[in-house]
Amino acid sequence: QVQLIESGGGLVQAGGSLRLSCAVSGRTFSNYVMGWFRQAPGKEREFVSFISWSGGSTDYADSMKGRFTISRDNAKNTVYLQMNNLKPEDTAVYYCNGRNRFSGSYYSSWGQGTQVTVSS
């Protein structure tokens, strides 16, 4: 079964930076469009960013544009999220997941996520 393991979260002051990583087991990582999502306490999980299978195309939620950068290394089965100029409202648990570019199916399970806490 495929596993998604997020890491890199932590406590940071407003204006600071963090780099999140998501390592994915399995041999078909390069067939997946990968995305980052986040869930703040008491809120629904929301979209943060996605990156195409090749890394040639990316997109971000409006509030993250200009501050966050998504990237991937298909040789390492890993997707990254560089987060700069963090704000208290970025506090959440961050998750990754992916959609197969051929079948359209998503990874069947989520990882444990990584907690990001931004203090004011």
pLDDT in tens, 30-56: 999 999 999 999 999 999 999 999 999
CA distance 82 to 50: 13
Kindly indicate the confidence band of residue 26, based on its pLDDT and cuts at 50, 70 and 90.
Answer: confident
pLDDT at 108: 87
Kindly indicate the confidence band of residue 66, based on its pLDDT and cuts at 50, 70 and 90.
Answer: very high
Q: How many helices (H) and strands (E) does the chain have?
A: 0, 10
What are the φ/ψ torsions at residue 15 (nearest 5 degrees)? 95, -10
CA distance 48 to 60: 6
Mean pLDDT taken over the chain: 96
